[in-house]
Amino acid sequence: MNIFSLDVLVDYLFKNPSIVLWLFLIYIFIYTLSVLFGGARPGRNPVACDARRPREPLVLEHKVRDAVLKQRFKKTKVPEKLDAVIIGSGAGGLSAAVLLVKAGKRVLVLEQHDQAGGCCHTFREKGFEFDTGIHYVGDMDGRSMLSTAVDQLTEGQLQWVPLDDAFDVVALGPPEKAKLYPMKSGREQYYENLHSMFPGETEAINKYRAVVKTAQKGNAGPVVLKMLPKWLARLLVATGLFNLFFGGFFKYANTSLKSVLDGVTSNKELRAVLSYILGDYGLLPSEAPFAMHSMLVDHYRKGAYYPEGGTSEITLHLVRAIEKYGSKVLVNAPVTSILFNDKGKAIGVRVTSSASGEVDVFAKQVISDAGARNTFKTLIPKEIAEKSCYYNLVDQLGPGVSCMTAFCGLSGSPSDLNMKASNYWAYTSTDIDGSVGDFMNQSVEDAANSEVPLIYISFPAAKDPSWDTRFPGKSVVLLITIAKWEWFSEWKEGRDRHRGERYEELKMAIGRQMWKQTVSLFPQLDGQLEYMEVGTPVTNKHYLGAPLGEMYGMNHGLKRLSAETSINMRPATGIPGLYMTGQDVYMCGFVSAILGGMLCAGSILNRNIINDIERLRKTLNKQPQKKVN
């Protein structure tokens, strides 16, 4: 009998599965060595040295700021011999640009709007300043990997100011008699506060905490899958080896928030309070992956922050860092198509500007921060776009939710009006799925005459310690609710501020209702309103380039963080020379967009920039704190 027969070998391996695992791990080790010491050489480390410098005073003069943020596109301003051209100047595009220029690349960032920044930009109207998309950020304590990354990208020029201890407050019930639930920051205080608000739900809160912890254990999983070669990522997932380290996360990536909470407690108020932050990813509890929800809970449990000087400070210092290395960020530069050579490689973009007409800009790589839908359904010929897995993902995931925003300018300073550096999440009902779902299923005419079931209330003037100096005697409030693209889609081609009476009446009716409900919560604001403008889904299309008014790009439902989607949603698109950055590489939010920029730059430079920043963070945290003031 041949003892080396295939049957005997298979039987032996079946009885000793650890042998298979060890052989596979040895193979991975050999493969890693081949990547590190063979093939393409890594590019320059863009964070080899601490880039922070003494913090400069805030730039208060609008003309000086505009000279940085509003540089209009002209052909003569395009740098020569570009390594990369980036479509879109959101946090993902600008962060990728900073990392590339620090690695010696020459980059041009093109923005279709009249100022750079994407959701980080602010605008001024009637003597007021409003932020548009970044209302608070977690993890900016100065010692985390992400705060280290932002510090390096902005050269330490941002002062992140903590919000109040109760950074979020949940208001449940009819506005005139809503019950308030403050959500407090702090690793232990967050849960201690929940126990104090719901003393009879100790077991449920402890169970919830345990599930959040389990889901968080593997939260690096989606990022790891984006960084590994696709074949290797798929092999690790198919064999189940990936689940040894990240299984908890992916289990809860396919489990809804509602199903977890239903299994934790029958208390409707507690379920609503634990769900409250859903507006930050734009999904109802029945639609939201619990893994994503748990990441957000953990993100803010360590504290919430706001940049002194407003959110355009982020853009100002990112653009300055780019220009410092001889690269440019130009606005009023709508890209109408991506250019390819006869081999299907991206070689540049076509800009159609009012000042210069059609201009072709060539570069070694093209990076899109314009979102997957814009990129693969509009900017690229179908026969080329179909070669990327993104092309089908756009339809498989679908668009994310849209929103309406009421920008409210008030007389009186934040202290005069007793404003707090907190956000308020106002829900008219504990049945969030039912109330918000019913609201969204109405016609726009019915919505305009309905109570708004969800309002996010932000007080930027109270969050920013520089506000009183910049805008004395004034305050601003932002009111945001979820909305349907279809409500206003008939006006999608209309000119901004010229869409007609019916459009104005409908949007202002919803805005006035949001304001009425807000005044019920904050009676001291009654009679102080001086100015209100309301943005709709078509406003998002006009200013942010969101084709269907999306707040957060592609939908973040149960498919978004699956292993397969995580493998496919990566910077390298499968089309030579074309890369993606921003929130459609990973997930929504400022920090995720920055992470998308890091992944994109790392893909181009053949470096693990996350590891580079983590090494720098550890080095800096061992040193005495460097003064940047």
Q: Among the three residues 533, 549, 565, which one is the final residue of a domain in this structure?
A: 549
My answer on whether 509 and 412 are in the same domain is yes
Q: What is the pLDDT of residue 417?
A: 97
- Give the residue numbers spanning the domain of 580: 40-155+309-388+573-629
Confidence of residue 116 (pLDDT cuts 50, 70, 90): very high
My answer on whether 531 and 592 are in the same domain is no
Q: What is the pLDDT of residue 2?
A: 40
Q: What is the pLDDT of residue 110?
A: 98
**Mean pLDDT calculated for residue range 283-310:** 93
**Mean pLDDT calculated for residue range 167-187:** 94
Stronger pLDDT, 624 or 80, i.e. the higher one: 80
My answer on whether 28 and 66 are in the same domain is no
CATH number at residue 612: 3.50.50.60
Confidence of residue 214 (pLDDT cuts 50, 70, 90): very high
My answer on whether 577 and 596 are in the same domain is yes
Euclidean distance between the first and the last CA atom of the chain, given in angstroms as a whole number: 80
Which range, of 172-181, 215-224, 431-440, 620-629, averages the lowest pLDDT? 620-629
My answer on whether 33 and 44 are in the same domain is no
Cβ proximity of 109 and 97 under 8 Å: yes
Stronger pLDDT, 248 or 347, i.e. the higher one: 347
Q: How far apart are CA 217 and CA 410, in angstroms?
A: 45
CA distance to 199, 396, 405, 468, per residue, from 539 (Å): 44, 25, 10, 29
Q: Tell me if 174 is assigned to some domain.
A: no
What's the gap between Cα 513 and its chain centre?
A: 28
Whether 4 has a pLDDT exceeding 50, the answer reads no
My answer on whether 336 and 414 are in the same domain is no
Q: Tell me if 206 is assigned to some domain.
A: no
**Mean pLDDT calculated for residue range 367-371:** 97
Which range, of 219-223, 359-363, 477-481, 519-523, averages the lowest pLDDT? 219-223
pTM of the model: 0.92
Confidence of residue 259 (pLDDT cuts 50, 70, 90): very high
Q: What is the pLDDT of residue 242?
A: 84
Which range, of 233-242, 256-265, 276-285, 416-425, averages the lowest pLDDT? 233-242
Q: Among the three residues 549, 583, 605, which one is the final residue of a domain in this structure?
A: 549
**Mean pLDDT calculated for residue range 99-110:** 98
**Mean pLDDT calculated for residue range 591-602:** 96
**Mean pLDDT calculated for residue range 229-251:** 87
User: Is the Cα torsion angle 80, 83, 87, 92 positive or negative in sign?
Assistant: negative
Q: How far apart are CA 324 and CA 327, in angstroms?
A: 7
Q: What is the pLDDT of residue 241?
A: 82
CA distance to 41, 215, 413, per residue, from 266 (Å): 56, 21, 43
Q: Tell me if 252 is assigned to some domain.
A: no
My answer on whether 545 and 414 are in the same domain is yes
Q: Tell me if 396 is assigned to some domain.
A: no
Whether 33 has a pLDDT exceeding 90, the answer reads no
pLDDT in tens, 491-536: 998 888 889 999 999 999 999 999 999 999 999 999 999 999 999 9
Stronger pLDDT, 36 or 301, i.e. the higher one: 301
Q: Tell me if 289 is assigned to some domain.
A: no
Q: What is the pLDDT of residue 38?
A: 46
Which of these, 311, 326, 338, lies nearest to 86 by C-alpha position? 338
Q: What is the pLDDT of residue 26?
A: 54
Q: What is the pLDDT of residue 232?
A: 87
My answer on whether 32 and 44 are in the same domain is no
Q: What is the pLDDT of residue 310?
A: 95
Q: What is the pLDDT of residue 256?
A: 97
Count Cβ atoms within 10 A of the Cβ of residue 36 and give its class: 0-12 exposed, 13-18 middle, 19 or more buried: exposed
Whether 287 has a pLDDT exceeding 60, the answer reads yes
pLDDT in tens, 322-353: 999 999 999 999 999 999 999 999 999 999 98
Q: Total domain count for the chain?
A: 3
My answer on whether 370 and 449 are in the same domain is no
My answer on whether 440 and 328 are in the same domain is no
Residues of the chain above pLDDT 90, percent: 83
- Apex 545 CA angle, 114 and 439, nearest 5: 125
Q: What is the pLDDT of residue 9?
A: 47
Whether 397 has a pLDDT exceeding 80, the answer reads yes
Q: Tell me if 456 is assigned to some domain.
A: yes
My answer on whether 408 and 543 are in the same domain is yes
Quickly count: other Cβ atoms within 10 Å of residue 143's Cβ: 12
Whether 8 has a pLDDT exceeding 60, the answer reads no
My answer on whether 408 and 490 are in the same domain is yes
Residues of the chain above pLDDT 70, percent: 93
Q: Tell me if 453 is assigned to some domain.
A: yes
Q: How far apart are CA 287 and CA 267, in angstroms?
A: 20
Q: Tell me if 301 is assigned to some domain.
A: no
pLDDT in tens, 399-458: 999 999 999 999 999 999 999 999 999 999 999 999 999 999 999 999 999 999 999 999
Residue type, 611: N
**Mean pLDDT calculated for residue range 554-560:** 94
**Mean pLDDT calculated for residue range 154-173:** 96
- Mean pLDDT (the chain) is 92
